[in-house]
Amino acid sequence: MRKINKSNYVLFCISIVLCLIVSLPGFANAAPLHAGPQFVDGYYADPDVQIYNGTYWVYPTRSTQVGESGTGAKSVDIFSSTDMVNWTKYSNVISSANISWLQHSLWAPSGAYRNGKYYLYFAANAINGDGQLGGIGVAVADSPEGPYTDAIGAPLINVVRNGAGPMDQDVFIDDDGQAYMYYGSWGECNVVKLNADMKSLGTWSDGTVYKKVTPTKTGDNDYFEAPKVFKRNGIYYLTYAAGVWADSSYKVMYATSSSVTGPFVPQGIMLHTDTTTADGPGHNGIVQSPITNDWYIFYHKRYLSSSQRVLVFDKFEFNADNTIKPVEMAVEDNFDDGTDAGWTKYGGSWTVSNGQYNVASNPGAKALLDTNFSDVIYESDVTPGSTGNAGLVFRVSNPGTGADTYQGYYAGLDVPNQKVLIGKANNNWTSLATASISLTANTKYHVKIVAQDASIKVYVDDMTIPKISVTDSTYIRGSVGVRTYDSSAKFDNISVHSSRYETENLIVSATSGDKHAMFGNGTGRDLNLSGGFGTALDANAVNDFVTYTVNVPEARSYSVRVGVKKGANRGQFQLSVNGVNHGLVQDLYSSTFNYVELNVATISFSSAGDKSFKFNVAGKNGSSSDYDLSIDYIKLVPN
C-alpha cells in the first residue's frame, strides 16, 4: 500500500511530527508515500525506525493481540522491509526469557548500530522512583533481527533525575560519532552521553551525567513524553508527545535548537487527532530514504471507533526556512502489500490479490474504513463484473450485513443496464439519479465522488465533467467504503480526503508584537470546531494579518468558505490571495460567541499549486472592543 499526498481541496494544516534516525549506510529502495490504513496487521504502538544495509527496521511496543488475555506485553516483535510495502515479522526478539529483571511490562523499544553490533534499548517495569527494579535497559545482537540478549544484566538507567521518568528512550548519534540518549516521561526530558560501548553512560564537562533538555514550557501543549532527535541543515529537531496517551488529546509537537543539549524552543503542533480519520496519533519514529532523500514519519494511531493502536507512516516535507510542513493522516490504499488491514467487511467473500481488493458475486456486500467524513473527495478504480453493479459508499453509518443494511449513499457502475447510478440506503433503497454510460464487464474505471454539503457529484474516468450531479442532505457524515450488488468486483487505488481542514502552524505576523494562539488546546476538546483546533490572531491594529498556505488542486473557479468564531472583540478582515484582494470585507463582530461558515469570495485560479491566503485586519465594528480574528478552517468548493 502507498499514500498519495492528500492535497486536493485542502489547506495543509495538521501539524507534523519528526523523530530520530540512526542508520547504517546503505541503499534502501525508493519507498512509497504511505502504507495504507496500517502497514502491519495487529496492535502495536510507539514505533522507532532505522535503516540497516538498505532494509527498514521498525521497533514497536507490542500490545495485547486478538485472542490474548492480560495487559502489559513482556516481549517485542520487530518488522523489516526493503520497500516499505512488504513487511517481515520477527516475533519475540526480546522478552522475559532473556531479561532476568523484567517483571511486568516492556515497551517503547528503539534501535541503534555501532561497530558491527545492533542495540535495542527498552523501558521496563514502569518504576516511580530510585531504588525500584526497572527503568531503561539495553540488549545487543549480531544481526538486526536478533536474538537480542541483555547487555549488562541490569537497567542502564534506574533513577529519576530532573523529574524525568526513565522510559521512552531514543538514541541519536551526532556527526562527530558521539552517541546520545534522550529519554523521559512525566513532563520532563533528559539527555545522557553513551560511551563507545553503547551500554554505559558518560559524563558532561561539568562532571554530571544527566542533563535536562525539556523544551521551554509555555503552558500550552508542553512536553510530556517520547522524545526523538534528528539533525538537518545544522538544526537539532526534538519531537515529543503532548496530551494524554490514552485519548484524543495525544499529539506530537516539535522544538528546535542549534545545540545537541538545547535549549529547545517549541515550534508548534506537528500531528494531532483528525476527527474524520483517526484519534490520538503520536510517539513516532523518523526515517530519511537514502535513495530519494524523502522523509517519513512512523507513528501509532487509533481508529475512530477503537481503543487499540495500530502502526502507520506518512511522508513529510520541510519549508524553505527549515520548518516542517503539516503532515496529514492519509486514508489511501492500493493493496500492494497483499492485505486488507484496516477494512471491516459486511457480507461477501473478500480477498486481496494482484494488488487489488476482490469480492465474489453476492447479493450485497460492503467493506468499510473506520472514518467519519462529511465534505469528501473519494476516488477509486472500480472493475465491475457482468451482472449487478459495483461502486463506492460514503457517509455511511449503522452498517450491517445485507444489501441495503446501512444508512448512507452509494454510487455504482451497472454493466447490464449501461448506466452509472447514485442512491441512498436506510435498510431500503432510494434511487437519486442515473446516467447512461458505456461500460464493459471486467474493465477498470476510475470513479470519483465529490460531496460538498448537500451537493454530490459522481465522475467516471473524465474527472472534469461529472456524470451525475444531485442535491441531497439526508446524510451528513460517516464512513467510506466499497460495495457490490449481485456482482463480482475489484477495487484499487483508494484515495479519500476532506475538503475541510484545520489551520495550524501558520505564518502569523503583526505590526505591534501581537500574538497568536490555537483553539481547543489542552486536554479538552471544542467540538464546535472542525477537529478541535483553530488559530486566533490577538490583533490590535489595522494591517495585522495571518497567512495560510492552501494547495489549490485544479485551475478552475472555487467558492472560498471560511469557518470563523464570531464574538464581541472580533475585527474585520479582507482576504487576499497571492497579493490580490478578493471578496468583501468580513465583519466578525457578534454580541455573543458563535461559530459560522462564511462564503468569503469566488475565485478563479489559472493554475494549481500552493497559494498564499492572507487574512488582513481591515478594521473593527463600531461595537467591537478589539480587532481579533478567530479562524477555524478554509474550504474550497469547486464551482
Three cell numbers at 561?
A: 468558505
How far lies 169's CA from each of 157, 172, 190, 192, 401, in Å?
Answer: 10, 10, 10, 10, 46
Distance of CA 556 to the CA centre of its chain: 29
Determine the Cα–Cα distance for residues 245 and 249; give it in Å rounded to an integer.
Answer: 8
Please report, in angstroms and rounded to a whole number, the separation of the first and last CA atoms in the chain. Answer: 33
Compute, in degrees rounded to 10, the torsion defined by CA atoms 477, 478, 482, 486.
Answer: -90
Known catalytic residue: 46? yes
The helix, strand and coil proportions of the chain, stated in percent and rounded to the nearest 5, come to 0, 50, 50
503: its cell numbers:
489551520
Please say whether the beta carbons of 370 and 273 come within 8 A.
no
CA distances to 499, 500, 520, 570 from 562, in Å: 12, 9, 18, 15
Q: How far apart are CA 142 and CA 149, in angstroms?
A: 10
Give the number of other CB atoms < 10 A from CB of residue 339.
Answer: 19
- The C-alpha atoms of residue 312 and residue 278 are separated, in whole angstroms, by 11
Could you tell me how far CA 295 lies from the centroid of its own chain? Answer: 14
Amino acid at the residue 247: D
Contact present, 532 and 525 (Cβ < 8 Å): yes
CB-facing half-sphere around the CA of 458: CA atoms within 13 A:
26
> What phi-psi label fits residue 395: left (phi over 0), alpha (psi between -120 and 50 degrees) or beta?
left
Greatest pairwise CA separation for the chain in angstroms: 82
Cell, residue 461? 474516468
Catalytic hit among 225, 337, 379, 514: 225
Calpha distance 6→205 (Å, rounded) = 48
**Torsional sign, CA 551, 554, 556, 557:** negative
Candidates 469, 466, 468; CA nearest to 556 is 466
Q: How many CB atoms lie within 10 A of CB 143?
A: 11
**Burial class of residue 154 (count of CB atoms within 10 Å of its CB; 0-12, 13-18, 19+):** middle
Q: How far is 225 from 416, CA to CA, in rounded Å?
A: 58
Assess whether 379 carries a catalytic annotation. no
Give the cell for residue 67. Answer: 485472542
223 CB burial (10 A radius; 0-12, 13-18, 19+):
buried
For cell 485560479, the residue is: 605
d(CA 343, CA 358): 13
Report whether 474 contacts 424 (CB < 8 A): yes
Q: Are 94 and 76 in contact (CB under 8 A)?
A: yes
Catalytic residue numbers read: 46, 225
